[in-house]
């Protein structure tokens, strides 16, 4: 089993990163704040105005450590990486599969089956753990959404058209997010969820979800690149210049576990409240700098938790699961597996 490495998140404006031997050193205003051995790192994610020495960038490229630049509020800007791993035969198999409507639909069906199953787990756990605290109306709507997702999942497994599958994915997302607010157990109107909004997020919950989805997408892209797949050519998400479509495909399976549940825990455990968000003149709602550190800490802690992988039948750190799924996709594309086995949260 591959060893889980760390992601270095740099959130301090004006930070300067440089190489010292086999270490990454961070300085702020001429004062050394951190020193980490490179062999412990998988990637470096920089938020806002963070600079890095050319020798460190070159060394990271040689060691296969990806460098990702985001805006202070988590929007993707750029990525720096070294030589692409993998071989041309694997990528050609990926491209042929993406262009084949039948094979593409088969992967999409299993991807969506995994996503919908994991969404149902989120709702099912809420009913199981907090059903006695819900009003009859809330309990009924959650139970209805839970059953409706099961019916949509059954349709997904029988549908041969990728376009129709995309429509079913949208229907499932609508059912899920229609009851998402009922999973929030804090009082007050500042942290209510009125529906999914993006670019920009229009409330605190959407701001938190968007930030977490960016983090999971980064990890999914790194996992795909590490096994030699092209993150830009997907199956569920259409090709678009500059969009990591395959990373977004893989993201779908992990949204409920690595983003939605983390967001709900942060809110319900009162680790975040309305003071952790700021409303811009445009109406966009963004996480404050110190609040981002709270989210990053919670995200890293979730990735260190161990869970049994249903298909592999081994326990592993959750942070390794995107890599495991990327490996399973490779095995399917090469013909070693008859179908792509999605990640199922148990």
Stretch 150-177: mean pLDDT: 94
**Cβ distance 186 to 270 under 8 Å?**
yes
Question: Which token pair is 81?
Answer: 């990486």
Q: How far is CA 216 from the centre of its chain?
A: 2
Of the listed ranges 39-48, 158-167, 225-234, 255-264, the least confidently predicted one is 39-48
The per-residue pLDDT for 84 is 65
Question: 226 pLDDT band (50/70/90 cuts)?
Answer: confident
Stretch 132-136: mean pLDDT: 75
| Spatial separation of the C-alpha atoms in residues 19 and 141, rounded to whole Å | 55
Q: Is the pLDDT of residue 200 over 60?
A: yes
Give the Å distances, CA to CA, from 83 to 3, 40, 66, 70, 295.
Answer: 21, 20, 11, 22, 31
The per-residue pLDDT for 190 is 74
Q: Residue 172, by phi and psi: left (phi above 0), alpha (psi -120 to 50) or beta?
A: alpha
The per-residue pLDDT for 1 is 52
The per-residue pLDDT for 86 is 60
Question: 161 pLDDT band (50/70/90 cuts)?
Answer: very high
Which distant-in-sequence residues (6+ apart) come within 8 Å of 333 by Cβ?
90, 93, 94, 97
Q: What pTM value is reported for the model?
A: 0.84
DSSP alpha helix (H) spans, the chain: 54-63, 88-99, 101-130, 136-156, 162-178, 204-226, 245-254, 261-268, 289-304, 321-333
Which distant-in-sequence residues (6+ apart) come within 8 Å of 257 by Cβ?
118, 302, 318, 345
The per-residue pLDDT for 14 is 85
Q: For each of the domains in the chain, give its residue range(s) and CATH number, in order of start.
A: 6-80 (3.100.10.20), 88-333 (1.20.120.920)
Pairing of strands 285-287, 277-279: antiparallel
Question: 4 pLDDT band (50/70/90 cuts)?
Answer: low
* Predicted confidence (pLDDT) per residue in 25-46, tens digit: 988 888 888 888 888 887 888 8
Q: What is the mean pLDDT of the chain?
A: 88
Quote the DSSP letter at residue 5: P
DSSP, collapsed to helix, strand or coil, labels residue 42 as: strand
Q: Is the pLDDT of residue 175 over 80?
A: yes
Stretch 95-115: mean pLDDT: 96
Stretch 121-125: mean pLDDT: 91
Question: 283 pLDDT band (50/70/90 cuts)?
Answer: confident
Angle (nearest 5°) at CA 172 between 169 and 174: 110
| Spatial separation of the C-alpha atoms in residues 245 and 240, rounded to whole Å | 8
The per-residue pLDDT for 88 is 84
Percent of the chain with pLDDT over 90: 44
């Amino acid at each position: 089993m591959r060893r889980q490495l760390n992601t270095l998140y740099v959130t301090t404006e004006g930070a300067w990163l440089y190489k010292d031997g086999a270490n990454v050193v961070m300085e702020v205003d001429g004062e050394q704040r951190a020193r980490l051995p490179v062999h412990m790192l998988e990637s470096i994610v920089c938020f806002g105005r963070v600079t890095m020495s050319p020798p460190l960038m070159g060394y990271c490229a040689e060691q296969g450590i990806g460098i990702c630049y985001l805006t202070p509020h988590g929007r993707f800007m750029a990525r720096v990486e070294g030589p692409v791993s993998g071989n041309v035969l694997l990528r050609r198999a990926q491209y042929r599969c993406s262009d084949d409507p039948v094979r593409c639909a088969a992967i999409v069906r299993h991807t969506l089956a995994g996503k919908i199953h994991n969404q149902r787990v989120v709702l099912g756990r809420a009913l199981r753990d907090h059903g006695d605290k819900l009003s009859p109306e809330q309990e009924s709507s959650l139970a209805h959404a839970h059953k409706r997702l099961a019916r949509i999942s059954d349709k997904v497994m029988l549908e041969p058209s990728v376009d129709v599958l995309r429509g079913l994915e949208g229907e499932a997302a609508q059912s899920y997010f229609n009851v998402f607010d009922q999973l929030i157990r804090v009082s007050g109107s500042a942290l209510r969820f009125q529906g999914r909004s993006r670019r920009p997020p229009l409330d605190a919950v959407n701001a938190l979800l968007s930030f977490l989805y960016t983090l999971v997408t980064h990890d999914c892209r790194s996992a795909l690149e590490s096994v030699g797949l092209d993150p830009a050519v997907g199956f569920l998400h259409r090709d678009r210049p500059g969009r990591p479509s395959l990373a977004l495909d893989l993201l779908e399976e992990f949204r409920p576990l690595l983003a939605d549940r983390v967001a709900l825990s942060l809110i319900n455990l009162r680790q975040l409240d309305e003071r952790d968000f700021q409303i811009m003149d445009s109406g966009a709602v963004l996480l404050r700098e110190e609040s981002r550190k709270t989210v990053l800490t919670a995200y890293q802690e979730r990735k260190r938790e161990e869970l049994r992988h249903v298909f592999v039948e081994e326990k592993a750190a959750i942070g390794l699961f995107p890599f495991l799924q990327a490996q399973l996709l490779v095995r399917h594309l090469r013909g070693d597996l008859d179908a792509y086995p999605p990640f199922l949260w148990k």
